[in-house]
Amino acid sequence: MTLSNINENGLVLLGCGKMGSAMLQGWLAQGVRPSAVTILDPYPSDWLKTQGVSINTDLPAAPAVCILAVKPQMMGKALPRLQALGNGNTLFISIAAGTSIASFEDVLGADTPIIRAMPNTPAAVGRGITALIGNDIISADQMNMAETLLAAVGQTLRLDNEGQMDAVTAVSGSGPAYVFHLIETMAAAGVAEGLPADMAMRLAKATVAGAGELAEKADEDPAQLRINVTSPGGTTAAALAVLMDTETGFPKVVSAGVKAAADRSKELGK
């Protein structure tokens, strides 16, 4: 399955909010023809209306791919519209948190090729990462097609089993919010130490963005990078003595937050 299959048979996107729009922008840049794309969304954005795609029209008879990008709470109402496309050659890719492959099979049919994926919001700037897992009937070509589509907004990785998806959701799916809150907190701390608010925020944003890129590109692992910047008895060491405290610092707080997110993902899947 290649992009030519999509251009010939069509792609359906159920839901086109921020994540759907980011993916669509990447697909169009990859060479997917706007005329091959059908969007189902009750509130299409002004941007979407200018892209030349079909919006809320009749579905193709047998589209190559259907992307399910509505919120989990809306899936039960929205998915039946696509039921007639199940048990066929159409590849379904879901990016809904906490919604299991089995729940899609219940609606679409057990012979429907389904891939469950979890992207994250840096996809909006092409820096996302998406984890994927397919059901038993997914072919190598279909998995490759899913990776090609999702690579339009960043990196992809394949999971060993669906049980890992709750942890993925908690670490990378929800993770950008943790980092945004870190930026907020660092900036507020800078203001408390006497910096103007705009200066503190600029410093915090650039520091987190730069450290993230360094962590991704450096040969050393993050632990070694931390050691490299920590002089014994210096300012960084003083801060890390607080932040790395096993009872009150990052290890306990972040672990508790990730566990809460994973537990909620499991609840959504019930």
Instruction: Per residue of the chain (270 residues), give pLDDT as tens.
Output: 567 888 899 999 999 988 899 889 888 988 899 999 999 999 999 999 999 999 999 999 899 999 999 988 888 888 888 999 999 999 999 998 888 999 999 999 999 999 999 999 898 888 999 999 999 999 999 999 999 999 988 999 999 999 999 999 999 999 999 999 999 999 999 999 999 999 999 999 999 999 999 999 999 999 999 999 999 999 999 999 999 999 999 999 999 999 999 999 888 777
Residues 239, 257: Cα–Cα separation, whole Å? 21
Residue ending a domain, among 147, 165, 183, is 165
Q: Tell whether 126 is covered by a domain.
A: yes
Q: Which residues pair with 94 in a beta bridge?
A: 68, 116
Cα dist. 43→17, 218, 227 in Å? 9, 43, 49
Rounded to whole angstroms, the maximal C-alpha distance in the chain is 68
Does 154 lie in the same domain as 127?
A: yes
- Inter-helix orientation angle 18-30/140-150, to 10°: 110
- Read off the CATH number of the domain in which 216 is found: 1.10.3730.10
Domain residues for the domain of 247 are: 175-268
Say what the pTM is.
0.88
179 φ/ψ angles, rounded to the nearest 5 degrees: -70, -40
CATH of residue 61: 3.40.50.720
Produce one character per residue of 105-143: b if its CB has 16 or more CB atoms within 10 Å, e if not: beebeeebbbbbbbbbbbbbeebbbbbbbbbeebeeebb
Do 161 and 27 reside in the same domain of the chain?
yes
Cα(141)–Cα(159) distance, rounded to whole angstroms? 17
Count of domains observed in the chain: 2
Same domain assignment for residues 184 and 244: yes
Q: Which of 115, 133, 165 is the last residue of a domain?
A: 165
154 plus 184 within the same structural domain: no
- Measured at the CA of 189, the angle between CA 184 and CA 192, to 5 degrees, comes to 130
Q: Which of 109, 138, 165 is the last residue of a domain?
A: 165
**Residue 170 falls inside a structural domain:** no
DSSP H helices in 151-196: 165-168, 175-192
| Segment holding 102, helix H or strand E | helix 101-108
Asked if 147 and 231 sit in the same domain, the reply is no
160 shares a domain with 102: yes
Say yes or no: 138 and 18 in one domain.
Answer: yes
